[in-house]
Structure 1
Amino acid sequence: MSRRYDPERRQRIIDAAIRVVGRGGIAGLSHRTVATEADVPLGSTTYHFASLDELLIAALRQANEGFAAAVRESGAFVEPRCDVAGELARLTGEWLAGDRAGVELEYELYLAALRRPALRPVAAEWCSGLTEVLAPRTDPVTARALVALLDGICLQVLLTGAVYDEAYAREMLARVASGSRARAGAGAGPASGGTLAS
């Protein structure tokens, strides 16, 4: 069947790359395996993505939307009286309890940036995007610490197979969040944060 006009081809290639990585990991990704999965000529993958890094960047950016979309759709963080720790713990639980394979894939692409420097700016988008959402409810330094803690909790759950403990996550996140209130009460500005602010 001819596909000379195929405006969705680029997206189909990205979706195929995500499926390939989901089945066989980053090691199984090549232009050829993606072309086969997407049912497109090999030249189509190299036309849209000159390198595997370019393809991985697109896949990671799409995968990053999982938790980011949950945060946006929640809408809770725009409320001045939002329980930041409680809402983060709840959303994380829902995310981890959903499509677990999708969550694992998202982290596999995220961690691929350790060996592929081209992916690092995209991997950082997840952290910076969530930090921007949380900063108005806390302060920039505390928001970064909350994201780092949340990232660590998720990694522990995924790597150890442990059951996500929402109550524990809420308590630990609340302890970090309380630091911003303590600084505000002491009159300290957002810049006071030691190495976290660097």
Structure 2
Amino acid sequence: MGRRYDPDRRQRIIDAAIRVVGRHGIARLSHRTVAAEADVPLGSTTYHFASLDELLVAALRQANESFATAVRDSGVLADPCRDPAGELARLMGEWLGRERSGVELEYELYLAALRRPALRPVAAEWADGVTEVLARRSDPVTARALVALMDGICLQVLLTDTAYDEEYAREMLGRILSAGRVSARPAPAARTGDGPPGHAPGT
């Protein structure tokens, strides 16, 4: 009998890997546990993903997409007349308001890059992608600071099991944006003959 055509098998394996990590953590992830979860032959997992790192890269890339897509698709962030700090705070609240296990899973995959160098470029994709979008409303340096703050707030909420404070997030994000706007202003040109404060020109 010929091999059954199964064009979605690779995706089902990725989805199964995400479920295994969500239930048991990365320590329990193996080709065997994923094959059993996906209901596919063991050889299928090694055919599509030669190593567990390759499988984790695919899982992390998929998990990263939810928040990054929301940022990219936000009409508010694209509107120069709207409040980007308020919109980012709202998007964070929506993301953190999802099923807790799903949010924790995304961070577990994200933080796995600390121990698995192969995952680091993929983890950086999330920050780079969101930074690119936010830089259109600010500048690259300010955008990186916004991403760092959002990452820190989300991680603190998850680690301390505290409620997300959307107003606090909006205020802090607004401060970074305001500081970025101030630093981006060109310095006033010095007038010819001006001396230090308190001194008459030419003295």
Q: TM-score scaled to structure 1, two decimals?
A: 0.91
Which residue of 2 is the match for residue 84 of structure 1?
84
Q: Does structure 1 residue 136 correspond to structure 2 residue 136? A: yes
Structure that is richer in helix per residue: 1
Closer, same or farther in 2 for the Cα pair 1:178/1:47, shift >3 Å? same
Q: Provide the aligned length of Structure 1 versus Structure 2.
A: 187
For residue 85 of structure 1, what is the amino acid of its counterpart?
Answer: A
User: Aligned Cα RMSD in Å?
Assistant: 1.4
Which residue of 2 is the match for residue 184 of structure 1?
184
- Take 1:108 and 1:82, find their aligned partners in 2: how far apart are those partners? 33
Segments ≥4 residues shifted beyond 3 Å: none
- Take 1:90 and 1:65, find their aligned partners in 2: how far apart are those partners? 17
- Take 2:172 and 2:39, find their aligned partners in 1: how far apart are those partners? 47
Closer, same or farther in 2 for the Cα pair 1:129/1:161, shift >3 Å? same
Which residue of 2 is the match for residue 9 of structure 1?
9
Cα deviation 1:18-39 (Å, max 9, x = unaligned):
0000000000100000000000
Cα deviation 1:142-162 (Å, max 9, x = unaligned):
000000000000000000100
How far residue 102 of structure 1 moved from its aligned partner, in angstroms, is 1.3
For residue 154 of structure 1, what is the amino acid of its counterpart?
Answer: C
Task: Give secondary structure in 2 for the equivalent of 1:137.
Answer: coil
- Structure 1 unmatched ranges of 5 or more: 189-198
Which residue of 1 is the match for residue 117 of structure 2?
117
How far residue 3 of structure 1 moved from its aligned partner, in angstroms, is 6.3
Q: Which has the larger radius of gyration?
A: 2
- Structure 2 unmatched ranges of 5 or more: 189-203
Which residue of 1 is the match for residue 201 of structure 2?
none
Which residue of 1 is the match for residue 73 of structure 2?
73
- Take 1:124 and 1:4, find their aligned partners in 2: how far apart are those partners? 37
How far residue 11 of structure 1 moved from its aligned partner, in angstroms, is 0.2
- Take 1:78 and 1:145, find their aligned partners in 2: how far apart are those partners? 19
How far residue 103 of structure 1 moved from its aligned partner, in angstroms, is 1.1
